[in-house]
Amino acid sequence: MVHWNPVRTMRETTPIHSRYGLRIDGVQLADITAEQGYPEIRRAFEEHSLLHFPDQSLDDAEHLRLGALFGPREDRSLRPDQPNPAISMVSNVREDGRVYRAGDRRLLDLQSNMLWHTDSTFLPVPALANILVGRVVPSSGTATAFTSSRIAWESMPEALKGRARNLYFRHDYTHSRRKVDAALAGEEKFTHWGQQVWKSVWTNPVNGREALYIASHACGVVGMPDRAALALIDELTQWSTRKEYVHVHQWKEGDVLIWDERAMLHRGVPWNYREARILSSICISATREDGLDEMRYPPQ
């Protein structure tokens, strides 16, 4: 068993981006426990927002156990008989092993994830973190793009920041799906959750740093006409996804990425859909200790 050695590990870290993110080598996540390793990982998570652990071999049980260290594991399944409901497969592979054809609803859903977004803003409890594992990577490659909404907010012109502060965004799962396919947006898995409302800026309770809290699911602003609200959402998204804030992760099998949903946006990148790609995701629900209560509407 490989044990966490914080001194050794700090010598094996590499910045992912000049202003956020950390690659951590020499650690096997399957060996991490609440007492051994997790506290150091959590500190890095709070500070750097995006963590990359290469050369991992997590099975489903280990993936679930790691997720539980961060908090409650999200379950958005609508089927009570679904195995491992906390694990979502971000995959173009069907149950029979074949890949989905162009135009299939499942593939359209994956393409909706290619809009810049934060996971689970459409749920009654949004996500704190995503733990994403590279299972099958196509030979032609596949990638996920990230941007720091914390760095974007800190760098935002004061005039735009003033327009965005103290707002409450309305979020709806169907909104992002409708951008790709209207029929897709009508499926129960998207209509089931209705609208949620969250504050526009999330303050990290550990270090006090603020981040714009936005997503492709954002469909309006409380108290603002829809046209003006959507224009502001687009302006804020464009600022937050400027080239200088973006990191594109090229997947390798065994990669594990863990990111702070309160401070990061991400999107999928198209790949050769004729090749299988399987990523395994667990989202962790935010709690009051993560600053959730301050995000609710109306203000608590």
pTM, entire model: 0.95
Domains of the chain, by residue range, sit at: 6-295
d(Cα 284, Cα 37) in Å, to the nearest integer? 18
Residue range 6-295 in CATH 3.60.130.10: yes
Residue 245: DSSP 8-state: G
Q: In what order do the strands lie in the sheet with 87-91?
A: 13-15, 22-24, 50-53, 256-260, 127-136, 278-285, 87-91
* Sheet architecture: strand order including 218-221: 195-199, 168-172, 218-221
Query: Which residue type occupies 188?
Result: E
Cβ(32)–Cβ(258) below 8 Å:
no
CB-CB contact of 280 with 132 (8 Å): yes
200-235 burial code (b ≥16 CB/10 A, e <16): bbbbbeeeebbbbbbbbbbbbbeebeeeebbebbee
| Strand ranges (E), 66-126 | 87-91
Q: Each residue's pLDDT tens digit in the chain (300 positions)?
A: 334 454 345 458 999 999 999 999 999 999 999 999 999 999 999 999 999 999 999 999 999 999 999 999 999 887 766 667 789 999 999 989 999 998 899 999 999 999 999 999 999 999 999 999 999 999 999 999 999 999 999 999 999 999 999 999 999 999 999 999 999 999 999 999 999 999 999 999 999 999 999 999 999 999 999 999 999 999 999 999 999 999 999 999 999 999 999 999 999 999 999 999 999 999 999 999 999 999 999 987
